[in-house]
Structure 1
Amino acid sequence: MVNIPLNLFNVFLASAEQQSFKAAGEKLCLTTSAVSQSIKKLEDLLGVLLFHRKTNAVELTPSGVELLEYVKAGINEIEKGIQHITKQNDTISIFCPPGIASELLSPFMFKIIAEGFQNIRIESNEQFSYNTYSQYDLAIILDETEKQAKNTLYLGPDYYFPFCHKTIYDQINSIDDLYKMFLFHHDFSRISWKEWFAYNDITYTPQKTLTFTRAAQLLSSVDNGLGVGLESSRLLAKKLVSGDYRLCNLPNLKPVKKDITWLYINSNKKENKQILFLRDLVLEYCSTDIEGRLKCLG
């Protein structure tokens, strides 16, 4: 294989595009003579004529035309590679569902700031397309099928049970009491009230429901004591511990368990120290034990 300096291909590309050694020199900040000598050296190394020289211009030979396509493609790939690695070095990208972002990541944020991270992008979106998460360095994914995927770590089970604010807890002691309340739901929940009632062998006949477009809206309404929500104990953990939220007092009824929460790690970043640090933070602050309780809360 001929060892050819890459700068000769840059000179070749500029000369082909400008159709002039002089114009190529001006573009590359080289003299016309330097461009001419570089092209001559490239032709000698390849053993083919690349340009027909004219008085005030140059013209590609058939061999030059053929080489030009390969050089363009090669330089384009090099530029894409440079953009990719510089983007990776500049910014670490993380995807996280909005509920987890708002309820669990506060200590996570303090830790990454204290660690000296400078460029972190956290994208939070309910309508996440699971076939595109490979564009992120890390992604917290809510999807039962991800247990089959590579490069994912299980973050523990989610348990779904009706919950309310402490101010209305004493008013809910039976299913009939539950039906008297507004039952809150949001469009992107991984469980419906109908599913929870069916799991507990109860006919689904609620009289009052209110559906939100975001989990944050549901939680805000529960905070104000306006009704009862159905959400994962993972997201409710801190307010359950503080006593602001209570799991409704419904004897002999069971929570629905789902294995849906996974951490994806980009395979190209598995040895990156910063990514490994962030991975460990997610495992520390977002993982649940076998009963669905956040491990970091003991």
Structure 2
Amino acid sequence: MELFILAYYIIIFLFGLPANILALYAFSCKIHTKASPTDVLLLNLTVSDLLFLLCLPLKMYEVASGMHWLLPQTLCLLSTFVFYTTIHNSSILLTATSVDRYLCVGYAVWYRQHVRAMHGVLASVFIWILSSAHFIYLYLIELMPDSSSPSSGVCYDNFTEAQLGVIQPIRLELCVVFFILPLLVSSFCYVRFILILSRISRLQPEKRRRAAGMAVGTLLVFVVCFMPYNITHILGYIQGGSVGWRTEALLLTATNAILDPIIFYFSSSTFQGSTRKVICLMWSNGCCKTKCTSPPVEAATAGGGATA
């Protein structure tokens, strides 16, 4: 099983890192031209995924060491904080993006008059603070006198019964705040978003497909990546202890770092244009020296910014 986990993390890292770097380039370019709140939120989502990926080598080393933590305890605390914060950060950022898209098409006049890119910045700051604050509190529990000592060789996975009595209710609250509510809000917004777009006869089929792709892809991330892990929170609270398959469920959350860029590609003309530009530049530098054109400047996603 450890060999499978290690291979899984390596695949996520090798494919996710370049894909998210490309997404970072695409959304950074978009923000410097004509930014929308959606662009800002997706840029923050990409940064969150990149931070998650940068922690994976430490997780790989832990798995390769037989699930024993042989590195300094400070790195254990830091990697755990970034690992879990970015996981929960992603669900809220995806939800905020769904709300922004729904407002853009459902209240188009009001949206154009009142919503600016700065609102995306403020929402992103609040989301980072919200997710970080939750896991700072969990750190305080880890550092309690009864917590496992660094000599135990286990990183954030060796709690006493007293600590589990405090942690389980917090994990249940995490499930509600970072999964159940975001899933309900995202589902409502994207269902309404698609219904509104279906009634716009002049909307181009390509933009309609991009909108549907982003909606379906986002809900797929919630179901595939976040649902199993959050189910372990509920079962752990009911059973009063950690669930046996929690490690496997946590493994699925790492898939989010790959699925996000895939969703960006199939739903964003900006991301598609940037991908083609990078591939063209790599091909021309290596082979034929062809001229590459810049990606089109348009809204980062269907329904975001000025276009649907």
- Normalised-by-shorter TM-score class: under 0.3
Question: Greater CA radius of gyration, 1 or 2?
Answer: 1
- What is the TM-score of this pair, normalised by structure 1? 0.21
RCO higher in 1 or 2 (8 Å CA, sep ≥ 6)?
Answer: 2
Higher strand fraction: Structure 1 or Structure 2?
Answer: 1
